[in-house]
A and B are shown apart, each in its own frame.
Chain A
Amino acid sequence: DTGVSQDPRHKITKRGQNVTFRCDPISEHNRLYWYRQTLGQGPEFLTYFQNEAQLEKSRLLSDRFSAERPKGSFSTLEIQRTEQGDSAMYLCASSRTAETGELFFGEGSRLTVL
């Protein structure tokens, strides 16, 4: 399977703990996106990378959130000092270029903060 893969698929943590999610995009894709989706809502943009450069960040990405893509391949999204409001599905997507607008999504990482 050469699609976008995310790990872990489900994470349960206690409030105040740190969590990290990993995304492996489709190998030839140079753009990588992170979205957050809560129940009954559409995906909300968090940030995106072109290669290793983080080009845009949403105001939703508070200072407790950090994303990296150190070698322009896989990416990590870390949430520090988690809060119950961080409970959501975190989606990763990748694309080859921006022109088509077609993003390929992974199945997501579900975070539950107790």
Chain B
Amino acid sequence: GNSVTQMEGPVTLSEEAFLTINCTYTATGYPSLFWYVQYPGEGLQLLLKATKADDKGSNKGFEATYRKETTSFHLEKGSVQVSDSAVYFCALRPGGSQGNLIFGKGTKLSVKP
């Protein structure tokens, strides 16, 4: 079946530290991959996406590369800010599907000044 596994949180970093949040997936076919973010008090919003192998999604200084050989889509940022504190969700949409997204459990990030 289709599933997403992401590293457990919470993750606490100091401002300007390097961030990695690991995400691996299991899927049949060729899924599309996403990172969504939920800031405190707000709804989930798309952060970045990649639709095929070796694609790199990027937004707001965050990056993730679709690695088919390792079935991974790790989220990285070179220098985090306090405003990046949020819950991050990795998600996939199964290949050929026009329907739902399958989400990981989420990783809470706290960035201290």
Contact of B100 among A4, A45, A105, A106 (CB under 8 A): A45
User: A85 within 8 Å of B by Cβ?
Assistant: no
Q: Which residue of A lies closest to B45 (CB)?
A: A105
User: A41 within 8 Å of B by Cβ?
Assistant: yes
CB atoms of A98 and B99 under 8 A apart: yes
Query: Which residues of B (19-48) have their CB < 8 Å from a CB of A?
Result: 32, 34, 41-46
What 1/0 flags go to A88-101 for Cβ under 8 Å of B? 00010100001011
Q: Which residue of A lies closest to B6 (CB)?
A: A42
Query: Which residues of B (68-98) have their CB < 8 Å from a CB of A?
Result: 89, 91, 93, 98
Number of interface residues of B (CB under 8 A): 23
Residues of A within 8 A of B32 (CB): 101
Question: Complex formed: what's the CA distance from A105 to B91 in Å?
Answer: 14
Given known A-B contacts A101-B32, A101-B34, A101-B93, A41 and B105 have beta carbons under 8 A apart: yes
The 4 closest A-B pairs by CB, nearest first: A42-B103, A45-B100, A98-B98, A105-B43
30 contacts between A and B (CB under 8 A): A4-B43, A40-B105, A40-B106, A41-B105, A41-B106, A42-B91, A42-B103, A42-B104, A42-B105, A43-B89, A43-B103, A45-B99, A45-B102, A48-B100, A55-B99, A91-B43, A91-B44, A93-B44, A98-B98, A98-B99, A100-B49, A101-B51, A101-B93, A102-B49, A104-B43, A104-B45, A105-B44, A105-B45, A107-B41, A107-B43
